[in-house]
Amino acid sequence: MYKKPFFSIIIPTYNRGYIINQAIESVLNQSFKNWELIIVDDGSTDNTQEIVEQYLKKVNGDKIFYFKFNQNKGVNVARNFGISKAKGKYILPLDSDNQFLENSFQLIFNVLNRKEYPLSFFQIRTFSGKEISKPIEGFVNSKDYICEVYKGEYFPVVQRDIILRFPFEESINGGESIAWKRIVKQLGGVYFYSYKVLLYNDLLEDRLSIKRKNFKRLANVFKKDLLIFGNDYLKLCPKLFFEKLMKLLIYSSLSLFS
């Protein structure tokens, strides 16, 4: 066994006291136990702290760690802070409304034990049963990944050392794919696995991914994405560049009326 935890699960949360227990339970119920759970409360004003403290009393002090900001700073600030506190070899980012499937940690560990790679993606199953990602198995080169040949939601497993070098963009809310693209560009590719490890909650009305409520956020994400990868898109897949530019203009316009 590793002296330090093999996995560090990072949960950023904001006013999710009504559901965060499900995310925590999905970690506690894993058969693989070499992990730590770091919860970063992004200034919640509900009962999130009360819920988390109930688990702190039940579990040994070296398994669950809770940090709370005095004010809301944004999900990416919370994620980066949690990662900075992590001791595990691999980071498993978990949104507070999602859940791990049974035995996911053991499955991921077995995969990494056969072939370790700094960044891997696994499949996701949604609460409502929708397919939000294409089943992929094997290595995908950086060009295909940056050009979004394989679109959809996937669960990332990333080495702590490399995500510390390429943190989430704190000037925007969301846009995690920017960090993954920067890492894949550095590595030259990424591994995809067809195993499903996460249950994605696509039913809640307070999700960042709901477009009709987040036009300004989406515009900021597309703007940042184009600033960082615009030249790559123009060189490798110019059609994607103009698609993203068009979406930036549309979301910027819609944000003026929302």
Q: What is the chain's pLDDT, residue by residue, as a tens digit (258 residues)?
A: 447 899 999 999 999 999 999 999 999 999 999 999 999 999 999 999 999 999 999 887 789 999 999 999 999 999 999 999 999 999 999 999 999 999 999 999 999 999 999 999 999 999 888 878 888 999 999 999 999 998 889 999 999 999 999 999 999 999 999 999 999 999 999 999 999 999 999 887 655 544 455 889 999 999 999 999 999 999 999 999 999 999 999 999 998 876
Class of domain 7-207: alpha beta
Backbone angles phi, psi at 125, to 5 degrees: -115, 135
Burial of residue 125 (CB within 10 Å: 0-12, 13-18, 19+) is middle
Sketch the domain layout of the chain as residue ranges: 7-207, 212-255
Looking at residue 101, what DSSP letter applies?
P
Burial of residue 252 (CB within 10 Å: 0-12, 13-18, 19+) is middle
Taking residue 129's Cβ as centre, other Cβ atoms within 10 Å add up to 7
Question: Cα(83)–Cα(8) distance, rounded to whole angstroms?
Answer: 8
* Residues 6 or more apart in contact with residue 50 via CB below 8 angstroms: 17
Query: For strand 119-126 and strand 155-159, is the pairing parallel, antiparallel, or unpaired?
Result: antiparallel
Of 75, 194, 58, 204, the residue nearest 128 (C-alpha): 204
As a whole number of angstroms, the longest Cα–Cα distance in the chain is 55
Looking at residue 88, what DSSP letter applies?
S
